[in-house]
Structure 1
Amino acid sequence: MDRHGTLRERRDRLHRHWARWVAGDRLNKQASLREEIAASWRRSIRWVPPERDCAPVDAAADERWACSPLRAPVQAISDELRTIAEDGGFIAAITDESGTILWTCGGPVMRRRAETVNFAPGGCWDEPAMGTNALSLALRHGQPASVFSAEHLVEALHGWVCYSAPIKAPDGRVLGVLDLSSTWDRSHPLAMPALTNLVTGIEQRLAERLIPGRPGLHLRCLGAAELLRDGAPVRLRPRQVEILTLLALEGHAMSPERLREELYGERHVTAATLKAEVSHLRSALRGALSTRRYELTEPIACDAAEVLALLAAGRAEQAIDAYGGPLLPSSDAPGIRMWREHIEVAVREAVLRSMRPEAVLTYGELHPYDLQIHERALALLPTGDARRGVALTRYRSALGS
């Protein structure tokens, strides 16, 4: 039998199995369905009807693409992506970490076909939105995935074959997915190696932009206290880190009186003491701090400010991934405590609304006594998932604390 005939036979066999499964025959094993596909069907059927005809749309996708860390690396290889997509009869898509498509390319025929199921910028392709598909599997498991024809839970996708691989930041966070999709008869074993090679190119360009060595000032104050200039650490005393954090989060000038109150509260501290701390900080910043009314005069990237900006933009999943822990956890400065509580409340609410067990588990590791977080993790993790043991242990520890 030729290759096309073999693919057709596989497609027909999967479709028969899918039809029986959807009709209620959940014990049929004749199609030798892959376990990751079967597990995804069992999860997805709770949210997604198999007769769904297209993906829901996120109207803010254009804004999210404009400030996505993936935009510049993808644009750098966009010519190569277009060539592969158009020559191979594929449509290429980039998603963010939530599974929302931000960018696509491909020939006009495939683009029109993809648009009929909202496989286009703004389309939401995570499991709760579109069930079993390669994009959702790559996001869920953090590794390449392929889904062929009737392996998709949604029948409208049975004419497709999809290959996806996660795109990871240098610290291991999944920032999104690159997907190559086409009609089922174009399924080919070389598609996945081509895809992973493209992802490697994107990740290399990400590393050049995101790893230490990048220009400018970068302040880490979530779960840590570190200032980098052009990738090199800058030595600061704890009080100076507190000042810098308050200025970065305020985003505008602070009077000496206001800054002293935010740092020391009711404690009796002279103006000269504060002035000396600010002077040392100004020297460490090479003068990038104004006098009289204190304000940063050079842009500074701050992880806490980034998380708040992502939350304000409605990009909750990306904010959760960027969150590294409590704000300056060892600080007792009143202003830091206020910002710490504000960030914790905002991030925690986003985590409790998240449908990703990975996000809830990560937050739970940072907050071991938060009973509600561990309950949420247990609710999201399916029976048989090995991670339930971790969540259950944390839940019991929090319950007994």
Structure 2
Amino acid sequence: MAPISTLTRQRKELEKEWVRWANSSSDASRLTPGTPLLRHEVAQSWQRSLHTVDPARAVAPGLDDVADRWAESPLRAPITQLGDHLRGIAEDAGFVAAVTDTNGTIVWMCGDRAIRRQGESVNFAPGGRWDESHMGTNGLSLALHTDRPVTVFSAEHLVAALHGWVCYSAPVHGPDGRQVGVLDLSSRWDRSHPAIMTSVRTLVLAAETLIRTAAPPPARGLRLECLGTARLSREGRPVPLPPRQLEILALLALEPGGYTPEQLHAAIYGDRPVSPSTLKADVSHLRRATGGEIANRRYALTGPMSCDAVDLLAAIESGDTASAVWLYRGPLLPGSDTPGVAAWRDYLDVGVRNAVLGSDRPEYAVSLGEKTPADVEIHEHALRLLAPDDSRRPAVAARLHAALRT
């Protein structure tokens, strides 16, 4: 965190500039920044906002249909999934987290109770309208307007009632690249720290990944989870299967073209002297368990079934590193020693790892390092990419130290 003396000095200089703009009798469009601290994008926002917003405004206007807006928001599902994590980050840091729709209306909020109460005094709360035309320059409105992550500190806010705040905001995009809203972390001005923006970027990345990977359930509701675990479910209910049959099902999911009986036998048993009738019995039981979704002559899936390993494979092969890191929950069927599973396990692990090592995004390396604590190279890569004052460095350094000792 920047020394309080530095933050205080910045705030005082910005307030002097704000007074000059707010009290100017000339056209705001003709004014230019009088201090290097007033960033160009903030000055432009002031110029736009002063036409419609009184800097003395005390509270944001509100809307009554916030429940309907939240119900219809494409961010509802991902934010609900991220809710506990987002709440923990906000409360631990003494911030509030807010989510808006594309019009700048707050549709969801969580975080530190004291900060939330302060926010409610200016209607920084669900239903509040925080677009530029209603509340002038603020993190939410500027992120919407510029379509990129922004920080708005203290007197950079056009409305004087917000000079005690700092806001870190970033737009969230759907699969088609269009904005679906903004995610924001805000608190008192003296809690300003660049690491907060890193958290915002990471959360936005997670939300966008969840939006991209969301898909309607398959028609028969079959779901195979085999990354770091091993289970089959139908319509959310467990379908008990022995480990060998889960191995067969995972291989069939990853090879949509299927296997001849001889190929599948080799993939499962290798050179072990196991009778073909043993494999045939396992496949017959598996066929009954899946509702007849396995072909007879060439073993292949004939019906819809979603699988986390297949989703991961698609992300790796399409170059979608963000989704690959998010989808990776651990190695493929970690307890299996069958040749076919071991080969696919290596392929998926190496694919995710190489994608992260080839990226300059520190959040990818940090996230994968949390899931692969023994991977020294991933931790070293994360430390090379993280800024010196990034709050995640101590945890990454600790993981590296532990990995080097094993």
- How does the TM-score come out when normalised to structure 2? 0.53
Residues 322-361 of structure 1 correspond to what in structure 2 (within 5 A)?
A: 322-361=327-366
Q: Compute the displacement of 1:368 (Å).
A: 1.8
Contact 1:162-1:179 within 8 A present in 2 as well: no
Gaps of 5+ in 2: 1-17, 41-72, 78-99, 106-142, 158-166, 184-203
Q: Compute the displacement of 1:164 (Å).
A: 3.7
1:317 is matched with which residue?
Answer: 322
State how far apart, in whole Å, the 2-side matches of 1:149 and 1:214 are: 54
2:385 is matched with which residue?
Answer: 380
1:266 is matched with which residue?
Answer: 271
SS in 2 for 1:233: strand
Contact 1:325-1:366 within 8 A present in 2 as well: yes
State how far apart, in whole Å, the 1-side matches of 2:396 and 2:335 are: 26
State how far apart, in whole Å, the 2-side matches of 1:318 and 1:395 are: 24
Please identify, of 231-240 and 329-338, the stretch whose mean Cα deviation from structure 2 is larger. Answer: 231-240
State how far apart, in whole Å, the 1-side matches of 2:311 and 2:178 are: 18
State how far apart, in whole Å, the 1-side matches of 2:378 and 2:354 are: 10
Please identify, of 268-277 and 228-237, the stretch whose mean Cα deviation from structure 2 is larger. Answer: 228-237
Contact 1:307-1:323 within 8 A present in 2 as well: yes
2:188 is matched with which residue?
Answer: none
Residues 131-155 of structure 1: CA distance to partner in whole angstroms, max 9, x if unpaired? Answer: xx77446xxxxxxx7689989xxxx
State how far apart, in whole Å, the 2-side matches of 1:323 and 1:294 are: 27
CA distance 1:164–1:239, change in 2 (3 Å): same
2:180 is matched with which residue?
Answer: 178
Query: Once the two structures are aligned, what percentage of the paired residues are identical?
Result: 39
Residues 189-245 of structure 1: CA distance to partner in whole angstroms, max 9, x if unpaired? Answer: xxxxxxxxxx9xx99x97xx7699996222111111121212222111111110000
State how far apart, in whole Å, the 1-side matches of 2:293 and 2:245 are: 14
1:288 is matched with which residue?
Answer: 293
Contact 1:18-1:150 within 8 A present in 2 as well: yes
2:37 is matched with which residue?
Answer: 17
Amino acid at match of 1:378: L
Amino acid at match of 1:17: L
State how far apart, in whole Å, the 2-side matches of 1:391 and 1:163 are: 25
State how far apart, in whole Å, the 2-side matches of 1:374 and 1:327 are: 21
Is 2:259 the counterpart of 1:254? yes
Question: Which has the larger Rg?
Answer: 2
Residues 302-343 of structure 1: CA distance to partner in whole angstroms, max 9, x if unpaired? Answer: 111111112222222222211111111110000000001111
2:47 is matched with which residue?
Answer: none
Gaps of 5+ in 1: 21-71, 89-124, 126-132, 138-144, 152-160, 169-174, 182-198
Residues 50-94 of structure 1: CA distance to partner in whole angstroms, max 9, x if unpaired? Answer: xxxxxxxxxxxxxxxxxxxxxx948x9xxx978x48xx9xxxxxx
State how far apart, in whole Å, the 1-side matches of 2:391 and 2:350 are: 29
State how far apart, in whole Å, the 1-side matches of 2:250 and 2:382 are: 32
Root mean square deviation of aligned Cα: 4.7
- How does the TM-score come out when normalised to structure 1? 0.53
State how far apart, in whole Å, the 2-side matches of 1:6 and 1:251 are: 69
SS in 1 for 2:232: strand
Amino acid at match of 1:178: V
1:5 is matched with which residue?
Answer: 22
Aligned residues: 258
SS in 2 for 1:17: coil
1:44 is matched with which residue?
Answer: none
CA distance 1:393–1:180, change in 2 (3 Å): closer
SS in 2 for 1:16: coil
